[in-house]
């Protein structure tokens, strides 16, 4: 494991608003967090020495990493508070590490990321507000799921599998054309991390394509689909209302500081819980929680998937960003499931379908970092055959809504490959 990635996975990682000294992050009149003056830099170390120097700078200023890598010569994206920009620029120039300013004012990028929509304008033909030209609030997403269940009752079931900490329902959409109990299934989820808006957008796009596009009917032949667009609804709503870059849940942690609220759901599963790549510090972005499945979201999620584990043959969990399709295990380096080569072959075949974006395919630790207690490792541990964690395009969490359709349309091409393989397997 590279020195840089080691630091990323074990050091204190907090959201930049709170990592910055007092006064660096300001609140707007509605008490939402402003990232005015923050920048995102793309920094490329071209040697091991420069990688170590960059690691020291990141550690010294407690910078938040937006894109991590295991490879020398590959860029690292970091968020830089206004107060430190001059100092860090000088330090990088001193050690001759090149950088580019990817986003010159983060708040301006946030303000223009999502076009304003008319909340009162309901499409008279469809009775819902969903589209894939903007990012939508939870009510729009859930309203669309309800619409589909009402409009297509023989094909769509809307399953309430539990409630979030703040009492929001946790919905799974079941899409099927089969009456056989032996029909294998594909699981897809999005929205584990609240700020990764592209993942719920893609998940809902897949739902729309499976249900409302007749040309995709063959994807329902001998395959059932379970799709959970928003695993972390409390955090997702919080990113729309208060802090665009919030990552975790909104459950209390016992800390008096508001910045230390919430758990990283993707470190809260019981398989290898608490190992490398997670933290016991409530202020960390990768806080594992007080115990495995401490969060109502992960408990409901795991209970439902476990109840369908004989049926589910392929598992996809959608994150951003980085253009990666990652395979278990993610808890330790050089550790692989016995059928890793089969999983790798299918993932590579799927990646070959993409036209607009290029994805790297491989082991999670090799491509990114260690992450004990993650959902994909857990899914594999309970016997699901094909398990993948996906980092979607493009670099960073602030992805203009104009990218939703290009990303979604390109990724949907892989559904043919996944469905064709799963259709050959029997639920048992």
The whole-number pLDDT of residue 393 equals: 92
Active-site residue (options: 102, 196, 391, 421) = 391
CA 226 to chain CA mean position, Å: 17
pLDDT band at 123 (very low <50, low <70, confident <90, very high): low
CB of 324 closer than 8 Å to CB of 391: yes
The whole-number pLDDT of residue 16 equals: 37
pLDDT at 12 over 60: no
332 is catalytic: no
Q: Residue for token digits 């960390």?
A: 284
As given in the structure block, the two tokens for residue 31 are: 């008490």
The whole-number pLDDT of residue 29 equals: 56
Burial of 89 (0-12, 13-18, 19+ CB in 10 A): middle
**Prediction pTM value:** 0.91
Residue positions counted in the chain: 428
Cα angle 104-110-115, degrees, rounded to a multiple of 5? 130
Rounded-to-integer distance, Cα 338 and Cα 422, Å: 19
Q: What would the pLDDT profile of 134-159 be if each residue is shown by its tens digit?
A: 999 999 999 999 999 999 999 999 99
Q: What would the pLDDT profile of 48-71 be if each residue is shown by its tens digit?
A: 999 999 999 999 999 998 987 777
Rounded-to-integer distance, Cα 76 and Cα 396, Å: 11
Rounded-to-integer distance, Cα 75 and Cα 326, Å: 19
Quote the DSSP letter at residue 123: -
Complete DSSP assignment for 68-113:
--SSTTS-EEEEE-GGGHHHHHHHHHHTT--EEEEES-HHHHHHHH
CB of 177 closer than 8 Å to CB of 185: no
Complete DSSP assignment for 231-282:
S-HHHHHHHHHT-TT--S-----S-SSGGG----GGG-SSTTTTSTT-BS-T
Radius of gyration (Cα) for the chain, nearest Å? 21
The whole-number pLDDT of residue 100 equals: 96
Residue 225 φ/ψ, nearest 5 degrees:
-130, 135
Residue 400 φ/ψ, nearest 5 degrees:
-50, 140
pLDDT at 7 over 50: no
Q: What would the pLDDT profile of 346-398 be if each residue is shown by its tens digit?
A: 999 999 999 999 999 999 999 999 999 999 999 999 999 999 999 999 878 99
């Amino acid at each position: 494991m590279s020195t840089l990635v080691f630091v990323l996975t074990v050091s204190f990682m907090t959201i930049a608003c709170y990592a910055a000294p007092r006064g660096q992050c300001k609140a707007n009149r509605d008490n939402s967090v402003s990232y005015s003056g923050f920048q995102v830099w793309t920094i490329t170390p071209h040697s091991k020495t420069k990688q170590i120097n960059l690691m020291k700078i990141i550690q010294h200023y407690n910078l938040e990493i937006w894109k991590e890598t295991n490879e020398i010569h590959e860029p690292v994206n970091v968020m830089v508070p206004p107060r430190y920009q001059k100092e860090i620029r000088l330090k990088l120039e001193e050690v001759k590490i090149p950088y580019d300013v990817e986003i010159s004012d983060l708040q301006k990028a946030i303000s223009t990321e999502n076009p304003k929509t008319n909340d009162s304008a309901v499409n008279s033909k469809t009775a819902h507000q969903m589209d894939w030209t903007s990012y939508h609030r939870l009510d729009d997403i859930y309203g669309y799921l309800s619409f589909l269940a009402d409009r297509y009752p023989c094909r769509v079931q809307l399953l309430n599998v539990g409630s979030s900490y703040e009492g929001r329902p946790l919905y799974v959409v079941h899409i099927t054309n089969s009456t056989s109990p032996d029909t294998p299934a594909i699981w897809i989820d999005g929205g584990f991390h609240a700020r990764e808006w592209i993942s719920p957008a893609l998940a809902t796009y897949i739902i729309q394509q499976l249900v409302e596009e007749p040309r995709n009917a063959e994807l329902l032949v001998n395959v059932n689909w379970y799709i959970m667009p928003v695993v972390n609804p409390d955090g997702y709503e919080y990113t729309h209302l208060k802090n665009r870059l919030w990552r975790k849940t909104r459950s209390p942690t016992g800390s008096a500081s508001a910045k230390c609220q919430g758990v990283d759901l993707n470190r809260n599963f019981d398989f290898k819980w608490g190992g490398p790549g997670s933290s016991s510090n409530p202020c960390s972005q990768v806080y594992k929680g007080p115990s495995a499945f401490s969060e109502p979201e992960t408990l409901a999620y795991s209970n439902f998937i476990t109840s369908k584990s004989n049926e589910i043959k392929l598992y996809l969990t959608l994150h951003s960003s980085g253009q990666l399709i990652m395979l278990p295990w993610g808890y330790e380096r050089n550790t692989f499931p016995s059928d890793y080569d089969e999983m790798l072959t299918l993932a590579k075949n799927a990646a070959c379908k993409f036209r607009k974006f290029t994805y790297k395919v491989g082991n999670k630790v090799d491509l990114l970092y260690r992450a004990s207690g993650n959902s994909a490792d857990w899914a594999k541990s309970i016997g699901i055959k094909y398990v993948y964690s996906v980092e979607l395009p493009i670099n960073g969490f602030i992805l203009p809504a104009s990218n939703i359709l290009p990303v979604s349309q390109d990724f949907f091409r892989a559904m043919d490959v996944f469905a064709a393989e799963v259709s050959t397997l029997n639920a048992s």
